[in-house]
Amino acid sequence: MILDVTRPEHVRALVERIDSDPHRRPLRALVNNAGISVNAPAEALPLDEWRRLFDVNLFGHIAVTQALLPFLHQSHGRIVNISSVGGKVALPTYGAYAGATFALEAVSDSLRRELAPHGVQVVVVEPGAVRTEMADRGAATANDLAGRMSPEHQQRYGGLVKAIVAHSLAFTRTGLPADKAGAIVAEAATARRPRTRYTIGRDAALLTRLARILPDRMLDRIVAASLRTYVPEEGAPVRLTGRP
Ligand SMILES: NC(=O)c1ccc[n+]([C@@H]2O[C@H](COP(=O)([O-])OP(=O)(O)OC[C@H]3O[C@@H](n4cnc5c(N)ncnc54)[C@H](OP(=O)(O)O)[C@@H]3O)[C@@H](O)[C@H]2O)c1
């Protein structure tokens, strides 16, 4: 069925559909997977775009979770929240995406602790690069938003947005095929004793670990170095660290 997670009437229709199914079996798992990618500097991203991203990537998941929890309580089922390595490390221009994803990580931790005594499990999946439509869609959105930036913002951030878009496209091209990622999501949804978190891809495993142990400034330098090769030669100047 068509389900826009930001539309309460769609979420209600989903509940009715499950409720009224004459062959209904227990609902074992909910996988919150919907997501959009927005790359724009925090200063230049209009507030309604911030809200749109949070509506899909965070509140949409919460809405569907609230709606389906009564079924999951009955079945002692499981919620799998698809997060991201962006829920552990926030690259420049990822303020909105990473903000919603960090929040999803925190909500998932809280929910896991609330629901464990009631027999409902909560699992987080943190993909790194996976070859899906996300990078192309994200690049189109980023370019569109960059085209709407003021001349001052263009001058300040134009080069950074180009570098991030090129980085994201290149990063995704080296990613895992979607079916491999899907197999890990299936494992998270069905394993008898699931872990609290699964990463997808070596990049995600490495980055989530580094984020835990490295000081912020060192992580800043690693992020800046990984973007440097994608900085356009001409056009807007790009400063990737605090140093002149
Ligand atoms: N690909 C990666 O490298 C990567 C890395 C880290 C995390 N992730 C996460 O993985 C999840 C899946 O992304 P993907 O890589 O498969 O990207 P994708 O190919 O762009 O797919 C995104 C999916 O989200 C759906 N969606 C978007 N807005 C929605 C809404 N309002 N209501 C319901 N569904 C909506 C889309 O449906 P339509 O096609 O109908 O628009 C599409 O099925 C996302 O949560 C993303 O943040 C992906």
* Percent of residues, the chain, with pLDDT higher than 90: 94
Residues whose CB is less than 8 angstroms from the CB of residue 231 and which lie 6 or more positions away in sequence, other chains included: 159, 162, 163, 238, 240
What residue segments make up the domains of the chain, in order of their start? 27-228
- Which residues approach ligand 1 with their CB closer than 6 A? 3-6, 33-36, 56, 60, 82, 84, 127, 129-130, 132-134, 137, 172, 175
Mean pLDDT of 130-139: 96
Mean pLDDT of 194-215: 96
pLDDT of residue 232: 85
pLDDT tier, 242 (very low <50, low <70, confident <90, very high otherwise): confident
Nearest CA to ligand 1 atom 37: 34
Q: Which CATH class is domain 27-228?
A: alpha beta
pLDDT tens-place string over residues 139-180? 999 999 999 999 999 999 999 999 999 999 999 999 999 999
pLDDT of residue 235: 63
pLDDT of residue 173: 92
CA nearest to 89, candidates 188, 5, 2, 208 = 208
